Amino acid sequence: MDIRIESIDGLRHRIPQHGRMRTDAIVYASKELLEQIRRDLSLQQAVNVATLPGIVGPSLAMPDIHQGYGFPIGGVAATDWNEGVVSPGGVGFDINCGVRLVRTNLSRDEVHSRIRELVNQAFRDVPCGTGGKGRLKLTEKELNEVLEKGARWLVDRGYSPPRDAECAEEGGCLAEADPGAVSARAKERGRPQLGTLGSGNHFLEIQYVQRVHYPEAAKAMGLEEGQVVVLIHSGSRGLGHQVCTDFLQQMGAAMKRYGISLPDRQLACVPIQSPEGQAYLGAMRASANFAWANRTAILYFLRDSFERVFGKSAELVTIYDVCHNIAKRERHVVDGKERDVLVHRKGATRAFPPGHPEIPEVYRSIGQPVLIPGSMGTASWVLCGTEGAMRETFGSVCHGAGRLMSRTAAKKGRNAKEVERGLEKRGVIVRSETKNGILEEVPEAYKDVDEVIEVVEQAGLARKVARLRPMGVIKG
């Protein structure tokens, strides 16, 4: 379907309100990225999002946008808290899929000669793969506590220092989580998976700081060129997936009762204030808390890996942890008026500006750290939030490079061993539980992350802090 797009400037593009749309859709992209984005149905999905009852402001598409379930991945939309709807498709199946950036006291030179040993050790210590089971055995009571407390559960039990929760979005715990709204099946799937990486695009990357762009912010984060860091990308595993599945079924049936009709059944939704809406939000928050606890537990095991290879002097300190798939109640100024809204971020990252009270005090002068992983074997980026994002995108930016190929297309004609050898020639050691874990995530399957970041910075949505390069990658 050909969609008419008006260029606002070289980076912002408008799909004007038409048909059943209740608002415009705004796309952030360069000319080259826009041509790539047009190859799938993501722009049509952004148009469909604009038909949601109670949507406030435009339907937003980040430069990494690609086709997803219901919402495009890289889509952002806010709905009025009292009169709008909540849509699980605006959060995704992997609730609070997110990333945690960890700094070390080791240099690239120190790690380079032992990178294969470190990758192999971490691969043994951090379970991965589709059905991976963790080393933390939870009772049903303990699982419910994790769903309520998130990362703080591990801090309270001495697994992690307080900073692991304090330097996470929302302190690693969303309030008003409701473990009772999480089905028995979801709990059954999630209980053995705390501290596991998972599969798909989830990864653990050992990286180094290649270049610092904003010294003041880098100093606040404890980053310097040549320093080794780790990026942990995982989410709520089978628990969150089941929660999304459960509520999509419930909402699909409930929409008729609420008189809601939409152009895509994948956008199934209900009023936020309905019993179904409140139950979903309670279960979603519990799933998000599980994800924060999961990434914290992975870091707990990773500290052991570094200690085994580099001794007790090796230090791993959380810089920040952000979620990519979430819906959160926030207050934003829209058309000059402050509104109480539910912001859906699907494959998008919060990017609050300097001075915002929800940012940890250590970063309040520079803005919230924004963590943007690239594709396997290419760069990742650290940025910080700006006032521009608050004005235009409900304090949101992209979450990665964005897929260019489907997983099926990425695998076609490629050999996993050849991909491994090619990455090793580029200085990247890779371990994966499966061949598909490597083939589906080849660098060619993704857009150019540097170009995506350039759009974000030039549009004033975030500011570059540092560019990271991978040394070792663990895939599910």
Q: Note down pLDDT in tens along the chain; length 476 residues.
A: 579 999 999 999 999 999 999 999 999 999 999 999 999 999 999 999 999 999 999 999 999 999 999 999 999 999 999 999 999 999 999 999 999 999 999 999 999 999 999 999 999 999 886 666 778 899 999 999 999 999 999 999 999 999 999 999 999 999 999 999 999 999 999 999 999 998 878 999 999 999 999 999 999 999 999 999 999 999 999 999 999 999 999 999 999 999 999 999 999 999 999 999 999 999 999 999 999 999 999 999 999 999 999 999 999 999 999 999 999 999 999 999 999 999 999 999 999 999 999 999 999 999 999 999 988 878 999 999 999 999 999 999 999 988 887 878 888 888 888 888 888 888 899 998 788 878 888 878 888 999 999 999 999 999 999 999 999 999 87
Q: Distance (Å, rounded) from C-alpha 13 to C-alpha 31?
A: 10
Q: Is 213 a catalytic residue?
A: no
Q: Distance (Å, rounded) from C-alpha 195 to C-alpha 180?
A: 22
Task: Measure the CA dihedral 282/288/292/297, to 10°.
Answer: 90
Strands, DSSP E only, in 312-451?
Answer: 316-323, 325-334, 337-346, 348-350, 369-372, 380-385, 396-398, 429-432
Q: Distance (Å, rounded) from C-alpha 388 to C-alpha 429?
A: 38
What letter would DSSP give residue 314?
-
Which listed residue (66, 233, 241, 399) is catalytic? Answer: 399
CB neighbours of 401 closer than 8 A, spacing ≥ 6?
Answer: 64, 373, 374, 375, 378, 446, 447, 448, 449, 452
Strands, DSSP E only, in 403-461?
Answer: 429-432
Which of 100, 77, 61 has the alpha carbon at shortest distance from 456? 61
Q: Which domains does the chain have, with CATH numbers?
A: 6-475 (3.90.1860.10)
| Encoded tokens for 90 | 């605006």
User: Which phi and psi (to 5°) does residue 387 adopt?
Assistant: -65, -30
